[in-house]
Amino acid sequence: MELSDFEKKIGIKFKDEGLLTQAFVHRSYINENKSSGLENNERLEFLGDAVLELVITDFLYKKYPNKSEGDLTAYRSALVNADTCAEIAKKIGMESHLLLSKGESKDKGRARQYILANALEALIGAIYLDQEYDVAKKFIEKHFTPLIDEIVSGKTFIDAKSLFQEKAQEFDGVTPTYKTVKESGPDHEKRFTVGVYVGKELVATGEGESKQDAEQQAARDALLKRGWSV
């Protein structure tokens, strides 16, 4: 597996090329290639997730000295979630190097997003082991921290479902419910339409590549329709 171009792109030359390769190996590939001698990237992902969280927590703690624990936790969740990680993985060119099973290779939907996010965390773990903490920290700061101002100003850190539930209980005395009203597309590219109800009233609908995404979109639209948006 030739990764020299990728190393140039991220500006890091690995001492142990095997660590870098491992970051791209999904468990499905091992299931189909048991004699490859490779390991999947799950242990590296476990390590990288912890390094990522530490770096971002330290960054947010210093950047926002007057923010509460709750605000900092919300910012961190928005900054290191699967969508953000997957987009960064795509931006630095990880997708074309993924080692996947034939079945997983065909899936371009929500499952691919999670695979990419996990691979990015595995890459961070590999950088940490190969280059130590300071290099991993610089990599994370370069790709993640520039996003925080947009997240805070755009209020994308707010959990729309939680906020809509809080407001519905406060003003209507009812806990909202969510129902899937439509599914479309092939299994590997599913689209879901979900409605959010207050009692029997359909307040809004949302679409997404997963039910969770569709529910969040429905909640965001419901907040706007009720005039409860922040």
Catalytic machinery residues: 49, 121
- Cβ(174)–Cβ(166) below 8 Å: no
How far is it, in rounded angstroms, from Cα 215 to Cα 208? 8
How far is it, in rounded angstroms, from Cα 227 to Cα 230? 9
Environment class of residue 138 by beta-carbon count within 10 Å: exposed (0-12), middle (13-18) or buried (19+)?
middle
Q: How far apart are the first and last CA of the chain?
A: 48
Q: Which residue shows structure tokens 């074309």?
A: 96
How far is it, in rounded angstroms, from Cα 211 to Cα 192? 6
- Give the amino acid at 214: A
